[in-house]
Amino acid sequence: MDFSKDLSIIILAAGKGKRMKSEIPKVLHRICGQPLIYHVLKQAASLGPKNAFIIIGHKKEVVREYLDNNFPSVKAIDQDSQSGTGHAVMMARHDFPDMGKNILILSGDSPLITAGTLDSLIKLRSENDLSVSILTSITQDPAGYGRIIKDRDGKVLKIVEDIDASREEKMITEVNSSIYCFDKDHLQENIDNIDIQNSQGEYYLTDIVEMLINKGKRAETFVISDHQETRGINDRSQLSEAEDMLRQRINKKHMKNGITIHNPSSVYIEGTVQIEPDTIIEASCFLRGDTVIGKGCSIGSFSQIDNTKIGRSTIVKSSVIIDAEIGPENNIGPYSYIRPDTTTGKKVKIGAFCEVKKSSIDEGSKVPHLSYVGDTEIGTGVNIGASSVMVNYNGFSKSRTIIEDGAFIGSDTMLIAPVRIGKGAIVAAGSVITGDVPGNAMAIERAKQKNIKNGAVKYRNRKKMDREK
């Protein structure tokens, strides 16, 4: 169903979240790399609403800044005094004329809710011409939740908050999710009639349900099978539990799409990550941000990859890659550190214990092991010997090294930037190169070796005499 003309969304996100014990507004605490409110807004946006509103209060400037930078089309409305959910909806009363027939009300701290569930809730109200449809679930541990009170025929009578419920009402296991779809006119006509005659002295949005029923209007519940989908976040423990659930959901989605994940309970993949089929993710990997992994790759255990594009058929062994672009058929690691602004071409090898920073490495080139490559341009078919260092920093500024196609850099070489190694040149092992090397030349810079006859014996005897003094 297309709700774009008839659906408006109000998200309640003004609460302080005292149990989080944090200076950060509750809805900006993160799971799977994004704030709680991001997950709610993402699902809401997929419904294609006419407009969306969010009620903000505690540290509203911080929340508003996040919304402006990430969801600029959502209108933020201030609730300076947090006096309950009903009062929060009252803050949007001036915008009711611009809203659609269906008004979906969500909690900003329910990150596990899905668009499919919300779609079903809206259809229930719209197709049955209800005043309100209420999203509920069944749980054997209903403490803390509002109870759904029904008559013997299953008709909704009212919602009673946990703190106000009688002993008998507390035995009810169908609980309120605090997610509703209202008929706009019925909500608008009754929102200002809510009072504060309750133990909390707050304006409960739940009271409007009983008010509508007493006026002969109809309300029904949509009971979902998974209670966890509706759970809100009130403390750090619940935050962690929700992240585990969301992470499992993300991992299952990838596995259904043709990705092999070994020991998925240990693998952390954020919802923004894209992975193509036939890729294998080993245990204890972390994939974050805007990472894109091509088809048929292998990501080894303990790898951490952030905001990086990886070409098809590339192997990454236990390495850290951040803000880089890795070409196809590369072989990275183990234990390499690829830093921001690094790009590689096809069939590049970066071996064990290498660090590469702000550099480009073209097709077929190799940095096999134990080397540092910083601020460097490496052409095609280049070989960098073990323990080589591109010395890019003089204590005041950084300079670039250029190594042209087909050059060979011997082991334990230092290239002091700025320097250019010409096409096909060879730099002998153990050299410290401070000047340009022409194409096809061989550069060598070493002190002449001197062997002292019996020098080792004399050295040991001298050390022995020093100890005896």
Which residues are catalytic, by number?
369
Tokens of 242: 């929700």
Q: Decide if 134 contacts 176 (C-beta within 8 A).
A: yes
Q: Decide if 315 contacts 296 (C-beta within 8 A).
A: no
- Determine the Cα–Cα distance for residues 359 and 326; give it in Å rounded to an integer: 11
Give the distance, in angstroms, between the CA of residue 213 and the centroid of all CA atoms in the same chain: 42
- Determine the Cα–Cα distance for residues 224 and 226; give it in Å rounded to an integer: 6
